[in-house]
């Protein structure tokens, strides 16, 4: 259903039967892991103007892996995470090790 690098790849699916008898398959809800429980690969300094996809590409070699940065930093909003980190010169984002 999802690409193997997707944050949703390991989710189970479920089905819902509509009143007209059609079955709709969907991915179950993904719960965010506690960021502190993820092993740290590196710390990433953020400067004003950085984009989450460019940071992910720099760290993981894939801009679509931005969600790993979000997970490692307990962030639901990538833009807010970047703004907070860029506004504090002593702050760095955690980059989590890819899970296999």
Q: Confirm if 32 and 71 have CB atoms less than 8 A apart.
A: yes
Q: How many domains does the chain have?
A: 2
Q: What is the pLDDT of residues 11-21, one digit of tens each?
A: 899 999 999 99
> In this structure, are 38 and 24 located in the same domain?
no
Asked if 37 and 65 sit in the same domain, the reply is: yes
Q: Do 45 and 21 reside in the same domain of the chain? A: no
Q: Reduce the DSSP state of residue 12 to 3 states and report it.
A: coil
Same domain, 68 and 84: yes
Q: What angle do CA 20, 26, 30 make, to 5 degrees?
A: 150
Confidence of residue 100 (pLDDT cuts 50, 70, 90): low
Whether residues 25 and 39 fall in one domain: no
80 and 47 in a single domain? The answer is: yes
Residues 50, 61: one domain?
yes
Per-residue model confidence as pLDDT tens digits over 31-71: 888 999 999 999 999 888 889 999 999 999 999 999 999 99
Q: Domain of 64?
A: 33-96
The model's confidence at residue 10, banded by pLDDT at 50, 70 and 90, is confident
| Whether 11 and 37 share a structural domain | no
How much is the pTM?
A: 0.77
Average pLDDT over residues 71-82: 92
């Amino acid at each position: 259903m999802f690409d193997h690098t997707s944050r949703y790849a390991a989710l189970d699916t479920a089905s819902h039967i509509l009143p007209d008898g059609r079955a709709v398959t969907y991915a179950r809800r993904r719960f965010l892991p506690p960021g502190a429980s993820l092993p740290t690969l590196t710390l990433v300094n953020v400067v004003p103007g950085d984009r989450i996809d460019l940071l992910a590409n720099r760290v993981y070699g894939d801009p679509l892996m931005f969600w790993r940065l979000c997970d490692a930093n307990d962030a639901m909003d990538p833009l807010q995470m970047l703004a907070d980190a860029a506004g504090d010169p002593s702050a760095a984002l955690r980059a989590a090790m890819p899970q296999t």
